[in-house]
């Protein structure tokens, strides 16, 4: 488990992270979402022990992270800006990391390099941005650490490679309960992989919620009612977040149990009724509106 307790960090008087308190449990995929400059990278670097918090604590499995080798052996950090030794090849990086991480899986590394169609002996500085990101991800997976910190991991990858990386993450999570923490500015990238998402804004976590619980507590329904139905009275029956109308088609976003919402609408004998899936972005829009924020201005 990772615990951040009242963590703050400033640079030249600018507050990058402001009193963040968060708990990340094992065996879950945690998505850290926010615009560029929201503090995601700074927070991950403090979690990785690269930066020391100005105040507060970050603990990994009960251990302080900063300048603690025992804690750092438990995670691998994939930074947004890829760094490799000058003129290094994937083979060189494999040999380096197998000396750092005692459980580094050499055979798995070689297999993944082949599956991603990367040249084991080619200099990495001749690779494209996406290829370099693939090498970083492969190194992180094969380090066999308990935690994997990912800063904009999917940035630079084509759609096929994004799905491939997500599939690998899912496999690792299922087989050895690896816990990825993925920072991104794009909710759509995290929607199909994360169990819990935290929204970071202006250096602080605006909210942190379990996706399953969020999806079970809010629903979108499309309806077409009888011509003589007094539709305006629905506002008094449903806990509405949003109501839209296009001709005779109404779209309601409401809080509550799905069966209860459906039952209320079914009593009106609608001509048409359909439950629609809500995207992660739509869920966050509804959640942030409750606390007075317009998420459309915060995220892509």
| Per-residue pLDDT at 85 exceeds 60 | yes
Domains and CATH numbers, the chain: 2-202 (3.40.50.300), 214-297 (3.30.70)
Task: Give the phi and the psi of residue 270 in degrees, each rounded to 5.
Answer: -65, 155
| Per-residue pLDDT at 253 exceeds 70 | yes
Q: What is the pLDDT of residues 107-128, one digit of tens each?
A: 999 999 999 999 999 999 999 9
| Cα atoms in the Cβ-side hemisphere of radius 13 Å centred on 128 | 8
> Angle of helix 106-115 relative to helix 129-142, nearest 10 degrees?
150
Q: What is the pLDDT of residues 127-145, one digit of tens each?
A: 998 899 999 999 999 999 9
What average pLDDT does the segment 156-161 reach?
83
Task: Return the number of other C-beta atoms located less than 10 Å from residue 231's C-beta.
Answer: 15
Average per-residue pLDDT for the chain: 86
pLDDT band at residue 230 using 50, 70 and 90 as cut-offs: confident
Q: What is the pLDDT of residues 200-212, one digit of tens each?
A: 877 677 677 787 7
For the whole prediction, is pTM greater than 0.85? no
């Amino acid at each position: 488990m990772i615990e951040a307790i009242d963590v703050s960090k400033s640079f030249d008087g600018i507050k990058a992270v402001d009193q963040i308190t968060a708990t990340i449990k094992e065996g879950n995929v945690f998505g850290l979402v926010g615009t560029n400059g929201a503090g995601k990278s700074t927070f991950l670097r403090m979690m990785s022990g690269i930066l020391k918090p100005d105040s507060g604590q970050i603990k990994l499995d009960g251990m302080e992270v900063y300048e603690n080798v025992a804690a750092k052996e438990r995670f691998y950090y994939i930074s947004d800006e890829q760094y490799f030794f000058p003129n290094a090849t994937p083979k060189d990086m494999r040999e380096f990391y197998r000396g750092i991480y005692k459980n580094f899986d050499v055979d798995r590394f070689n297999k993944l390099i082949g599956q991603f169609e990367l040249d084991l002996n080619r200099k990495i500085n001749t690779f494209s941005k996406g290829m370099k990101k693939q090498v970083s991800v492969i190194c992180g997976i094969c380090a066999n650490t308990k935690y994997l910190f990912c800063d904009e991991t999917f940035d630079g990858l084509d759609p096929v490679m994004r799905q491939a990386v997500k599939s690998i993450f899912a496999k690792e999570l299922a087989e050895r309960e690896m816990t990825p923490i993925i920072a991104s500015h794009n909710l759509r990238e995290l929607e199909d992989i994360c169990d819990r998402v935290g929204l970071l804004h202006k250096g602080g976590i605006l909210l942190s919620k379990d996706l399953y619980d969020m999806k079970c507590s809010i629903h979108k329904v499309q309806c077409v009612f009888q011509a003589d139905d007094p539709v305006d009275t629905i506002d008094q029956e449903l806990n509405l977040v949003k109501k839209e109308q296009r001709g005779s088609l109404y779209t309601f976003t409401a809080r509550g149990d799905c069966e209860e919402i459906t039952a209320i609408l079914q009593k009106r004998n609608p001509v048409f009724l359909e439950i629609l899936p809500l995207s992660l972005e739509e869920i966050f829009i509804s959640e942030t509106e409750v606390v007075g924020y317009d998420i459309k201005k915060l995220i892509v």
